[in-house]
Structures are given as structure tokens and as C-alpha cells.
């Protein structure tokens, strides 16, 4: 088995695939990339058993074969090369020899047949979505997903596809984000929960890519196909909580404010908040918003006044500043609206501008009890 490939082209593909490999694997074979050569097409794969990703590369070759090469060693070597062709030759003594312009490097390989095969999806449903839209949907929601191993369904992002549009939801019971696209539709109704790791991989690859992504899915797995790559992952098993039930419908108190000003104010004031609760207090009356925080243990306190547009009754409500900061950071509008009903009911944060047609973002943040 022998092939010739550009060093930077190979490195670029392997760095993406490297994100799949865990730092500590139970199976030693998973520390490798699988190289499969067929008719001058090289397919490189990486897997952690839950997620498998592969990319196809064009190489110069006239034979077939499959081997598994140590990922860390290969990546560290490729990073040091300037752009040049590299020749990979499989030798008889169970090593692969890589020849560059200036030297030769031999590394031991494992048999490609030991590498776990990616799951084949039986009669899946299919939806196609533009890469950048999918990347936006992931980045707008994934930060709100939980990390609780006891509630695995909440540690992923809930995909809800219908003929009306696509909905993506993430929550950790303190905050919730619902992102909908009315301009992209699926052929049939389907819902599944995607784990975080493959989503983070997709987000990084698809960020500025408007190529179409084909999503195939059944009850247990999902497969994403785009350009020359395929990602297959196991879905999180379980039923997603009824998130619609926790979004308060009647919110008579509406606050409209400049997002950047609000974010900077919350950031500054929160420095003076209690280090365990991160609690800040919003006091709204007329056209004035008063943001304050206090750490009684250290006699630290801060207070800022902002002008805002407010319709509703005067009220005081407490929030965890970290959640509020995360949410405001994740929006890219100039102005935001915070809708509230009572100090013990969730507040709803929505962007007023900066959205595409058919795009809708609803963020929900649970209040914290104020001790007066």
C-alpha cells in the first residue's frame, strides 16, 4: 500500500478528526486514525465508539488497503512540516515509512480491520439544512445544555423537526434556549437528542460554510454528511422534558434596553456579588433600571443606573449574573427585551433586531430569591 498526499492538506483533515479522539481510551485501537485506500481515494476515520467521523481525501495511488496509524504521533509530526508532498509506504516489518523532502520517518501501524466500524442507519429519515444555519443553531443553544450525568437527556440539544420548521432546544433547568427556523422545513415530524461532543465538532467545521448538510436519523443514531465528510453519532436515549410548559405565557412587564450597555453593567456589578450565588438584583421603575449586587461577607457592593424603556409595574427581581451574562453574550442584536410577570417566575430574554427572516430566539432565565 502506497500513496502520496500534500502535508498541509492531510494535517487540516486530521486536526478536525482529532477532535473525536478521547484523551484516555479503553480500547487502544481508538488512539489511532484509520486509513482506508481505494482507487486513489483515501478515507481517514476517527472514533470514540459513540461518535465516528471520516473524511475523504484525493491522493496519488494505485493500490488498496487499510491500516490504523497512531493519531498523536502523526499529528505532532505533520504540524512541523512546511507544505510538501509526503509519500506513505507500508513496509513488510509492520511499519509505515513516511518520506518527506528531507527525511524518512517510520511508525508502527495496527491492522485496519481491528478498527470499529461506523454504524449503518436502517431506513433513516432525512433533512437537508445549510451548514452555517446548523452551526448557528448549535452555537445559540449548546451553552445552555446541562452537565448533569444523572439527567443525561438535559446534557444534549433537542432537535425537533416538522413540516412547519426546525426547533433546537437546550436547558439545564436554570436557563433554557429555544431557537427556531421557519425558513427550513423537514418532510416529516421527528425529534431526537444530540450529545454535545459531536455538536461542538460540527459547530467548528460548519461555522462559515453554506454547503448543504444532509442529516439522516433513526431512533438511535444520526448521520451528518457534508462536502467530503461524514459524522455518525449515537443519540441520547430518553424523553426530553416538556419545555413549552415552563415558558410563561403571560408576561405583562416588558423591559427594552441596549444589549451591550446592559451586558457591561451586569458584568461590572457581578464582580461585587456573592461568589457562590452570583446574585444580582434588578430594580425597575419608570424609565430607570437599577442593577445592584452585594457580598455581605466582605462588605462589597455595587450599584448602577441605566435608562431603559419599560412598560409594566415597578418590580424587583434577582438573577444569577452568570446565566444572564452568558445569554446576553450569545445574542448579537443591538437591543434586547426582557419580559417578566412576577419576581418568582422566569424572565424571557429575546433579541429585538439582528435576526434573519424565519429565525427566532427565546431565552429563559430562572430568577433567584432575593433576601431583602
Written as one string, the DSSP assignment of 329-358 is HH---SEEEEEES-TTS-EEEEESS-PPTT
Please give the model's pTM, rounded to 2 decimal places.
0.92
Strands 300-307 vs 41-47: parallel, antiparallel or unpaired:
unpaired
Question: In the chain, helix, strand, coil percent, each to 5?
Answer: 25, 45, 35
Chain centroid to Cα 91, Å, comes to 41
- Is pLDDT of 1 > 80? yes
**What are the cell numbers at 264?**
457591561
Mean pLDDT of 106-120: 94
Mean pLDDT of 31-50: 96
Q: pLDDT confidence of 210, banded at 50, 70, 90?
A: confident
Q: What is the pLDDT of residue 114?
A: 95
- Is pLDDT of 158 > 90? yes
- Is pLDDT of 371 > 90? no
- Is pLDDT of 169 > 80? yes
CB neighbourhood size of 199 (10 A): 26
Q: What is the pLDDT of residue 209?
A: 85
Q: What is the pLDDT of residue 349?
A: 97
Q: What is the pLDDT of residue 124?
A: 92
Angle ∠(22,121,20) on CA atoms, nearest 5: 15
Q: What is the pLDDT of residue 149?
A: 87
Angle ∠(32,36,39) on CA atoms, nearest 5: 160
Cα–Cα separations (whole angstroms), residue 138 to 189, 285, 293, 330: 20, 36, 32, 11
Mean pLDDT of 230-240: 96
- Is pLDDT of 372 > 70? no
The average confidence (pLDDT) of the chain is 95
Mean pLDDT of 187-201: 94
Domains of the chain: 2-114 (3.10.150.10), 125-244 (3.10.150.10), 249-368 (3.10.150.10)
Angle ∠(47,51,52) on CA atoms, nearest 5: 50
Q: What is the pLDDT of residue 142?
A: 97
Give the percent of the chain with pLDDT over 70.
Answer: 100
Mean pLDDT of 290-312: 96
- Is pLDDT of 360 > 70? yes
Q: What is the pLDDT of residue 143?
A: 96
- Is pLDDT of 324 > 90? yes
- Is pLDDT of 260 > 90? yes
Amino acid at each position: 500500500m502506497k500513496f502520496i498526499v500534500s502535508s498541509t492538506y492531510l494535517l487540516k483533515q486530521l486536526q478536525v478528526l482529532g477532535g473525536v479522539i478521547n484523551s484516555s481510551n479503553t480500547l487502544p485501537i481508538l488512539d489511532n486514525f484509520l486509513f482506508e485506500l481505494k482507487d486513489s481515494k483515501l478515507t481517514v476515520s476517527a472514533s470514540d465508539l459513540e461518535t465516528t467521523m471520516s473524511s475523504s481525501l484525493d491522493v496519488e495511488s494505485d493500490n488498496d488497503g487499510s491500516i490504523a496509524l497512531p493519531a498523536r504521533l502523526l499529528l505532532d509530526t505533520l504540524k512541523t512540516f512546511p507544505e510538501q508532498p509526503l509519500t506513505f509506504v507500508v513496509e513488510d516489518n509492520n511499519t509505515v515509512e513516511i518520506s518527506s523532502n528531507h527525511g524518512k520517518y517510520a511508525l508502527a501501524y495496527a491492522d485496519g480491520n481491528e478498527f470499529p466500524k461506523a454504524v449503518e442507519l436502517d431506513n433513516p429519515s432525512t433533512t437537508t439544512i445549510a451548514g452555517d444555519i446548523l452551526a448557528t443553531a448549535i452555537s445559540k443553544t449548546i451553552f445552555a445544555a446541562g452537565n448533569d450525568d444523572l439527567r443525561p437527556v438535559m446534557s444534549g440539544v433537542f432537535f425537533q423537526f416538522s413540516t412547519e420548521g426546525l426547533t433546537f432546544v437546550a436547558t439545564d433547568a436554570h436557563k433554557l434556549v429555544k431557537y427556531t427556523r421557519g425558513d427550513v422545513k423537514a418532510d416529516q415530524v421527528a425529534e431526537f437528542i444530540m450529545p454535545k461532543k459531536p455538536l461542538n465538532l460540527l459547530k467548528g467545521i460548519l461555522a462559515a460554510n453554506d454547503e448543504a448538510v444532509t442529516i439522516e436519523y433513526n431512533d438511535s443514531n444520526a448521520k451528518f454528511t457534508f462536502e467530503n465528510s461524514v459524522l455518525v453519532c449515537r443519540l441520547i436515549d430518553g424523553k426530553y422534558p416538556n419545555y413549552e410548559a415552563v415558558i410563561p405565557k403571560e408576561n405583562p412587564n416588558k423591559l427594552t434596553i441596549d444589549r451591550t450597555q446592559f451586558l457591561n453593567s451586569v458584568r461590572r456589578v457581578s464582580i461585587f456579588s456573592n461568589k457562590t450565588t452570583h446574585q444580582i438584583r434588578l430594580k425597575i421603575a419608570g424609565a430607570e433600571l437599577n442593577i445592584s449586587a452585594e457580598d455581605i461577607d466582605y462588605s462589597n457592593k455595587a450599584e448602577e443606573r441605566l435608562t431603559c424603556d419599560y412598560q409594566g409595574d415597578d418590580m424587583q427581581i434577582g438573577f444569577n449574573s452568570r446565566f444572564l451574562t452568558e445569554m446576553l453574550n450569545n445574542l448579537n442584536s443591538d437591543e434586547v427585551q426582557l419580559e417578566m410577570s412576577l419576581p418568582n417566575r422566569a424572565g424571557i430574554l429575546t433579541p429585538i433586531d439582528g435576526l434573519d427572516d424565519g429565525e427566532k430566539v427565546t431565552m429563559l432565565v430562572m430568577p433567584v430569591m432575593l433576601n431583602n
